[in-house]
Chains A and B, each alone.
Chain A
Amino acid sequence: MTMPYYVAPEQVLKDRAEYAQKGIARGRSLVGTVYDAGVLLVAENHLRTLHKISEIYDRVAFAGVGRYSEYDQLRVAGVRHADTKGYAYSREDVDARSLANVYAQYLNQVFTHEMKPLEVEILVAGLGVDGDAHRLYHIAYDGTIVDEERFIVLGGDAEAISQRFEQVFVPSWSLGEALSACVTCLAGPDRTLGPDILEVGALAEGNGRRAFRRILGEELASLLDASG
């Protein structure tokens, strides 16, 4: 009679974590920060039509790094969750916190019960209502969730970029200032990032009911030029 191998649970989880981290580290990083009109999301993305940053609902945005197919599946699920809630109850009842929790539960469940963890890290951003603080939720591959009111960095290089960003962060900076800081910190000391490999989205007051918009093309180039 053969006995199944015994592997300590600590070892199983450690292996899975390592696997997920490796997958995430292969991708490029992303920064989400608050600025004077809302939340700015900036990613280094060499793909033109496959987005890392997207709209979920009126005042909720999504960003993901890691394996595209996996975080895009999460994005679509988030849109479905939000649209269902907004349709069944009311548009006002859709918020970032509840969505972030659902994501965290799902990622945790996959991490502990499935063979392969998801190789993703995601960010859920919520625009504050009536002067409340904007919220940024960071959800890791294992379902660990953190909420922030200032900024969040996702991706393999997150630690180094976070340290750089901490030094320059100003809570009420303008769109241009925030953007240029994000780009500089994402690039690091040895590189520069042009508008053609940046993906930028903003969740801001003044865009109407749907607060999310992409900052593209000429607008992006001129914002980057203006800030040097």
Chain B
Amino acid sequence: MTLPLFPAEQDPGPNFAGMLERSAPWALPLRCSGSGTAPPGAQPAQPAGLAGAVAGTLQVPHGTTIVALRYDSGVVVAGDRRATEGVSIAHRGIEKVFPADRFSAVAIAGAAGPAIDMVRLFQTQLEHYEKVEGSVLSLEGKANQLAQMIRANLTMAMQGLVVIPLFAGWDHRRHQGRIFTYDVTGGRYEETDFHATGSGGRDAKTTIKLGFRDGLTRHQGVELAVEALYQAADEDAATGGPDPVRGIYPIVATVDDSGFERLPDGEVAERFAAVLAHRQPPPDGAGGAGRHGGESRRGDGRATRGRSRPAEGASIDDEAALGGDER
């Protein structure tokens, strides 16, 4: 590799992907269309047919549920560890929550391959910018940068390889944690309090909605994220729950003014144990099973329901009570 030097009028500045396009197009991630700025020699990384073929005939691993929520001095970002290919489990221990840089986190749902590529490019881009420019991008700038990357993936998304990340971080200028969500076109939306996405996102989001209030502590925020992932795994076959047999637990991380911190597996395991303990029926057996409408929605017991779990009606009551207290 030679030194990547450019004539002044073609200098890509702090844009890492733009620089790769000019100096090392072979290293660029899978993309269906070259951008308009690529020099004539740089061919698009992949012919347009491939993604269609991938989505149509091949199964590719998909990541599932990720959540983010704000607490009084930062944000919690969490994700389960399962990737699925159709109805099979592709990976049990895939990671979907990453530090984007010291003060931000990115979580991914969707086609795992392109998503992980996107995260790597995003991480490199943020650090590259910081080193070339000598200053760190604002949180807003980072969020917009990620939007551009999602937009660049649009052709692939149209053919089935959808990547929907979630971005959250600590804003040094506003002194608060902020959460950004995206759509496939690169549309960028700021969430005020929380968001969840992926196949179990709806269940996770409902759980957070019921338990959320302003001014949660870090401990409470983590607890709510864990509860949300538990509920998503309970309802969605593609979302993995805690796996004590293999020692695989969802990833839970926080970002505050001291930076990104991933909770140790042991601590996450404890939080899940606490959620489970909370769901144990009282010793006298007064679980209240079947007296809530939830039971009819779920029909007869699902094959996946754990033996140690209480009747579903009990958990609905718990949530209603939790939500009621908060209001």
Residues of A within 8 A of B (CB): 49, 51, 54-56, 73-74, 76-81, 83-88, 102-103, 105-106, 210
Contact = CB atoms under 8 A, between A and B. Distances in A.
B185 interface: no
B124 A88 contact: no
B4 A87 contact: no
19 contacts: A54-B134, A56-B131, A73-B5, A76-B132, A77-B4, A78-B3, A79-B128, A79-B131, A79-B132, A80-B19, A80-B23, A80-B128, A80-B132, A81-B1, A85-B1, A87-B120, A87-B124, A102-B2, A106-B2
Contacts of A49: 134
Contacts, number: 57
B20 interface: yes
Given A80-B23, A84-B24, A86-B124, A54 B131 contact: yes
- Describe B's contact surface by its main secondary structure: helix
A81 B20 CA distance: 10
Interface of B: 1-5, 16, 19-20, 23-24, 26-27, 120-121, 124, 127-128, 131-132, 134
Q: Which 6 A-B pairs have the closest CB atoms?
A: A88-B27, A80-B4, A106-B3, A79-B131, A77-B3, A87-B124
A84 B20 contact: yes
B27 A51 contact: no
B188 to A, nearest CB: 24
Nearest to B259: A208
A87 B119 CA distance: 11
A166 B128 CA distance: 37
Contacts of B2: 102, 105-106
A49 B133 CA distance: 12
A76 B11 CA distance: 11
- Describe A's contact surface by its main secondary structure: helix
B24 A83 contact: no
A55 B4 CA distance: 17
A83 B3 contact: no
B128 A88 contact: no
Given A84-B27, A87-B121, A88-B24, A55 B1 contact: no
Contacts of A83: 16, 124, 127-128, 131
A70 B21 CA distance: 24
A176 B127 CA distance: 29
A87 B131 CA distance: 15
Nearest to B121: A87
Given A81-B4, A84-B4, A87-B27, A55 B120 contact: no
A73 B20 CA distance: 17
A160 B313 CA distance: 84
A106 B133 CA distance: 23
Contacts of A55: 131
Contacts of B124: 83, 86-87
Given A78-B3, A87-B16, 13 more contacts: A54-B131, A54-B134, A74-B3, A77-B3, A77-B4, A79-B128, A81-B4, A83-B131, A84-B20, A84-B27, A87-B27, A102-B2, A102-B3
A103 B27 contact: no
A64 B243 CA distance: 53
Q: Considering residues A84, A87, A210, which has the most beta carbons from chain B within 10 angstroms of its beta carbon?
A: A87
Contacts of A77: 3-5
Contacts of A103: 3
A162 B124 CA distance: 38
B5 A106 contact: yes
Nearest to A79: B131
B150 to A, nearest CB: 19
A107 to B, nearest CB: 10
A56 B128 CA distance: 9
Given A102-B1, A106-B3, A84 B127 contact: no
Nearest to B128: A83
A201 to B, nearest CB: 13
A105 B124 CA distance: 26
A74 B23 CA distance: 16
B118 to A, nearest CB: 12
A73 B4 CA distance: 10
